[in-house]
Structure formats: structure tokens, C-alpha cells
């Protein structure tokens, strides 16, 4: 990708982060940390990788996306809004009763959401089902799913992984947002799922480990995943929880906490600084 294209994606990712913060702040609850860590992955998937059309969200041959770590809905919603599925204004009503954007993705209420998720481990099983259905129906769509590294402590993830490899689901690409932190501690402390790459490899996946904030590496990984035949792909993306908000970066407390007014101002200043820097490039 050239410099201009990369700059475009970086600006979009910054806007995803701003949208997520806006939503969580207005809701006074929600999950900023993991939304920010996955922002570059969301951005690449929706703006470069997936075959989708926001004007026709249910198009039969579209690529599918499942946010298995459903609590990071603010990041997904901000991406969907930027892509044109609904106005960004909806973010201000995040988690309000009756609003379009609920605390976890709801496929019945939000255009662009392919699967309702939130119970960790289940989304990836649904993604496997979609990929298997694609194979059975001789469709050429691909299925993408973002998982948390805390989420992969769920046994169901590994049942799904076994299924995916057994059924040779090469139309399935799992992306682990490997930010090292989960709800109440570091992933290493809480459940110790490492080495994540070797685990997926031993389950029969093609595995790549990348910097999840570097668009060149992200692009190369998704390009490679498309070439893999006869087995599913896993991309282990090393990320920073709370990325680009100074006081949230790598802080476990920002898993599921909303910023207060002062913190909101600081977060927006941080992100505006990033955006201005990118605009000046
Ligand atoms: C089955 C299930 N158990 C517990 C939870 C509560 N929970 C929500 S988020 C979370 C931690 C997830 O950590 P991780 O996957 O690393 O997410 P991230 O850090 O990327 O936000 C937990 C335990 C849940 N949503 N579902």
C-alpha cells in the first residue's frame, strides 16, 4: 500500500477510536480498551478487505464478520458508521433503551451486524457455521471473526477451531486481538493461553503473528490468508489495549469503564493530536 493509502487508513482508525470514546462516554458505560486495540483491524477489514456493501447489508454473497469479543461493540459500531451503515450520531445514543446500538452486537437491530454476540467463545462457533454453510452452498464469500486473547480461554473456542480445521474451512479467518489484558488482569495471569500461535498451529490452522497497528503487516497477513487452501487461517495481532489514549494504554482498568468528563476531554485531545499529525503528513 502506498503512503497515501496508509495515511487514509490511519485517519479512519483514529476516527473509529474517537467514535468509540464518544459512544462509551455518552453511555456512561461500555468497553473502550479493547475497542481501541482492535480499531486498526476493524478499519482494515471494513475499508480494504471485506466484500460488503453498506447499502445492501444482507446481500447473499457478502463477506461475513463476527465480533466474537462482542463487548467491543463500540469499535465495531464506529467502523460501521464510518462505512455508511448508519449515521455516526447514533453513537451518542449507545446503550440507551430502544436505541439502535446496544451494549453488545444485535443482528436484529443494527444494520451490518451479521451475528449477535457477547457470550465469549460463541461468536467463533457461529463464524465456523457460516463458513461451513458457504462451502456447502458453493459460495465464495469469506468469514472473518475477531476474538479476544482473554476470550480464547473459553473451551468452546478450541472446539470451534477443531471443527474449522476438520472441515478445511479455508474461507475462515480468525483474528486474535492480542492486547495481553482481559477483564481482571493480564491474560498470562488469568488463564495463560500462550503460546497462542502454536496452539492454533497445532489445531491445524495457518498462523501468522503480526503487529496489529501496522497497516503494512495487516495487509500482508490478509493477502496471505486469502492464498491458504485446505485449512483455516489465524492472524495473531499484537495490539495495545486503549491504543492512542494516553491514560488508557495498557491499563487493565479501562477494559469496561467509561471516562468521566475530564477524562473524555483528555482522550479526545489525544486522538485529535494523532489525527492532526496524520492530516499534516
Ligand atoms: C461466556 C462469558 N464469560 C464471561 C464474560 C465476561 N467478560 C466480558 S469481557 C471479558 C474479558 C475478555 O477479555 P478479552 O477477550 O481479552 O477482551 P479485550 O481485552 O480485547 O477487551 C469477560 C471475562 C462473557 N462476556 N462471556
Instruction: Give DSSP secondary structure letters for 207-264.
Output: EEEEETT-HHHHHHHHHHHHH--SS-EEEEEE--TTTT-TTTTT-GGGSS----HHHH
What does the pLDDT look like over 59-82, one tens digit per residue? 999 999 999 999 999 999 999 999
What pLDDT is recorded for position 15? Answer: 98
DSSP 3-state of 178: strand
Give 149 Cα–ligand 1 centroid separation in angstroms: 9
Specify the pTM. 0.98
Ligand 1 contact via 182 beta carbon (within 6 Å): yes
What pLDDT is recorded for position 191? Answer: 94
Cβ(21)–Cβ(32) below 8 Å: yes
What does the pLDDT look like over 9-52, one tens digit per residue? 999 999 999 999 999 999 999 999 999 999 999 999 999 999 99
Measured in Å, how far apart are the chain's first and last C-alpha atoms? 16
Ligand 1 contact via 33 beta carbon (within 6 Å): yes
CA distance 179 to 141: 28
What pLDDT is recorded for position 207? Answer: 98
Ligand 1 contact via 70 beta carbon (within 6 Å): no
Minimal-distance CA residue to ligand 1 atom 15: 148
Ligand 1 contact via 178 beta carbon (within 6 Å): no
For residues 251-275, average pLDDT: 98
What does the pLDDT look like over 111-157, one tens digit per residue? 999 999 999 999 999 999 999 999 999 999 999 999 999 999 999 99
pLDDT band at 108 (very low <50, low <70, confident <90, very high): very high
Give 216 Cα–ligand 1 centroid separation in angstroms: 29
Closest CA to 21 of 8, 32, 34: 32
Give 69 Cα–ligand 1 centroid separation in angstroms: 7
What pLDDT is recorded for position 190? Answer: 96
CA-38 nearest atom, ligand 1: 20
CA-34 nearest atom, ligand 1: 21
Give 70 Cα–ligand 1 centroid separation in angstroms: 8
- The burial class, CB within 10 Å (0-12 / 13-18 / 19+), for 11 is middle
Mean pLDDT of the chain: 98
DSSP 3-state of 126: helix
Give 196 Cα–ligand 1 centroid separation in angstroms: 17
Measured from the Cβ of residue 6, the count of other Cβ atoms closer than 10 Å reads: 16
What pLDDT is recorded for position 245? Answer: 98
C-alpha cell at 212: 496489529
What pLDDT is recorded for position 33? Answer: 98
What pLDDT is recorded for position 23? Answer: 98
Minimal-distance CA residue to ligand 1 atom 21: 34
The DSSP H or E segment spanning 146 is strand 143-148
Measured from the Cβ of residue 189, the count of other Cβ atoms closer than 10 Å reads: 11
The pair phi, psi for residue 252, each rounded to 5°, is -60, -30
Ligand 1 pocket test: which of 39, 117, 183, 192 has the largest number of ligand atoms within 8 Å of its C-beta? 183
Give 175 Cα–ligand 1 centroid separation in angstroms: 16
Give 98 Cα–ligand 1 centroid separation in angstroms: 24
Amino acid at each position: 500500500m502506498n503512503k497515501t493509502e496508509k495515511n487514509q487508513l490511519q485517519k479512519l482508525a483514529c476516527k473509529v477510536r474517537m467514535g468509540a470514546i464518544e459512544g462509551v462516554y455518552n453511555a456512561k458505560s461500555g468497553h473502550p480498551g479493547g475497542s481501541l486495540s482492535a480499531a486498526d483491524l476493524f478499519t482494515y477489514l471494513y475499508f480494504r478487505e471485506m466484500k460488503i456493501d453498506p447499502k445492501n447489508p444482507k446481500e447473499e454473497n457478502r463477506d461475513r464478520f463476527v465480533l466474537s469479543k462482542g463487548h467491543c461493540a463500540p469499535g465495531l459500531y464506529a467502523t460501521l458508521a464510518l462505512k455508511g451503515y448508519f449515521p455516526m450520531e447514533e453513537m451518542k445514543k449507545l446503550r440507551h433503551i430502544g436505541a439502535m446500538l446496544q451494549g453488545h452486537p444485535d443482528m436484529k437491530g443494527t444494520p451490518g451486524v451479521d451475528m449477535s454476540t457477547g457470550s465469549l467463545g460463541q461468536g467463533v462457533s457461529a463464524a465456523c457455521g457460516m463458513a461451513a454453510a458457504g462451502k456447502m452452498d458453493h459460495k465464495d464469500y469469506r468469514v472473518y471473526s475477531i476474538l479476544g486473547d482473554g476470550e480464547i480461554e473459553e473451551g468452546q473456542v478450541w472446539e470451534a477451531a477443531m471443527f474449522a480445521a476438520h472441515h478445511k474451512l479455508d474461507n475462515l479467518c480468525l483474528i486474535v486481538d492480542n492486547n495481553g489484558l482481559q477483564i481482571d488482569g493480564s491474560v498470562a495471569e488469568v488463564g495463560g493461553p500462550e503460546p497462542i500461535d502454536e496452539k492454533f498451529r497445532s489445531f491445524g490452522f495457518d498462523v501468522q503473528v503480526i503487529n496489529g497497528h501496522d497497516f503494512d503487516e495487516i495487509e500482508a497477513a490478509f493477502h496471505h490468508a486469502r492464498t491458504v487452501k485446505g485449512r483455516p487461517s489465524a492472524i495473531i495481532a499484537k495490539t495495545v489495549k486503549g491504543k492512542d489514549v494516553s491514560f488508557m494504554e495498557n491499563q487493565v482498568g479501562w477494559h469496561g469503564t467509561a471516562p468521566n468528563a475530564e477524562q473524555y476531554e483528555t482522550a479526545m485531545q489525544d486522538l485529535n493530536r494523532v489525527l492532526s499529525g496524520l492530516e499534516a503528513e
